[in-house]
């Protein structure tokens, strides 16, 4: 059964000249990056309202930085997996391939993807809460109250927190790609966080076939044309091999 679905998905992907991909934390799970809502996920052990909202940062910046410094240390030590590499290879051989990710770990770029839309920001960039300057910084631990070298203001992680808008440029490009693609490939996301999760439905409304690759069944996989269940590090190479 899964073999037939896999063959059908491969056929669709090989025929398509325009593909949009949406990834989530599950794609990095096999690299050793924790997801959010699985059994040992970050939001199972930490309250996101105390760590990932602008209000939490205003109240307890040191606690929020402790959490993000911990994530920076974890991510510094990991490597992309076969799923990331398969997506990077897809981008190299297809003219119109857009990769929108909810991940902030930069593993897609480390695997060789160049055109990555980071819908939720990234962990390696800081943003000054006073002057707004963004700066890449690969230091693993920035301490409890990192300050802006330009103006002395408090720095925050350049990630999107609950209640905040997505970076409008990346979101606009992702929407446009979802609307024009022939195949929308969604991998490793519980598809519970909006508006990212709505990209696949948007694609379908505009005529795309939706393929989902996820360890568990989700609302999105139920709505997909083809839902493949398994690890993205195994499924994506099988689906995308040239």
Residues binding ligand OAD: number (CB under 6 A): 27
Residues whose CB falls within 8 Å of the CB of residue 123, separated by 6 or more in sequence, listed in order: 68, 71, 72, 75, 104, 105, 106, 157, 159
Are 235 and 214 within 8 A, CB to CB? no
Q: Choose one: 6-14, 145-153, 200-208, 226-234; the region binding ligand OAD (CB under 6 A).
A: 226-234
Measured from the CB atom, the residue of 95 and 168 that comes closer to ligand OAD is 168
Catalytic-residue membership of 206: no
- Applying the rule CB under 6 A, the residues between 108 and 147 that interact with ligand OAD are 120
- Applying the rule CB under 6 A, the residues between 201 and 220 that interact with ligand OAD are 214-216, 218
CA distances from 24 to 126, 173, 208 (A): 21, 18, 20
Identified catalytic residue from 14, 120, 140, 206? 120
84 contacts ligand OAD (rule: CB under 6 A): no
What letters, b where the CB count within 10 A reaches 16 and e where it falls short, cover 17-37? Answer: eebbbbbbbbbbbbbebbbbb
Binding residue (CB under 6 A) for ligand OAD from 26, 146, 157, 167: 26
| 216 three-state secondary structure | coil
Are 85 and 242 within 8 A, CB to CB? no
| Residues forming the active site | 120
Binding residues for ligand OAD, per CB under 6 A?
A: 24-26, 29-30, 35-38, 41, 48, 52, 102, 120, 160, 188-190, 192-193, 214-216, 218, 231-233
């Amino acid at each position: 059964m899964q073999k037939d679905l896999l063959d059908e998905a491969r056929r669709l992907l090989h025929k398509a000249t325009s593909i949009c991909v949406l990834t989530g934390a599950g794609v990095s799970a096999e690299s050793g990056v924790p997801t959010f809502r699985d059994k040992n996920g970050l939001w199972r052990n930490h309250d996101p309202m105390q760590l990932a909202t602008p209000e939490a940062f205003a109240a307890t910046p040191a606690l929020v930085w402790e959490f993000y410094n911990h994530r920076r240390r974890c991510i510094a030590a990991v490597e992309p997996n076969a799923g990331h590499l398969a997506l990077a290879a897809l981008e190299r051989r297809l003219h119109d391939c857009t990769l929108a990710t909810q991940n902030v770990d930069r593993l897609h770029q480390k695997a060789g993807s160049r055109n990555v839309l980071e819908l939720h920001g990234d962990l390696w960039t800081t943003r000054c809460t006073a002057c707004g300057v963004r700066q890449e910084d690969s230091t693993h631990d920035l301490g409890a109250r990192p300050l802006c070298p330009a103006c002395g203001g408090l720095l925050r992680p350049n990630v999107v927190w609950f209640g905040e808008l997505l970076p409008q440029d990346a979101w606009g490009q992702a929407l446009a790609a979802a609307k024009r693609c022939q195949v929308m490939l969604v991998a490793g996301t519980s598809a519970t966080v909006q508006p990212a999760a709505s990209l696949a439905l948007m694609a379908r409304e505009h005529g795309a076939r939706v393929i989902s690759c996820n360890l568990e069944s989700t609302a999105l996989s139920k709505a997909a044309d083809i839902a493949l269940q398994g690890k993205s590090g195994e499924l994506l190479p099988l689906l995308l091999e040239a």
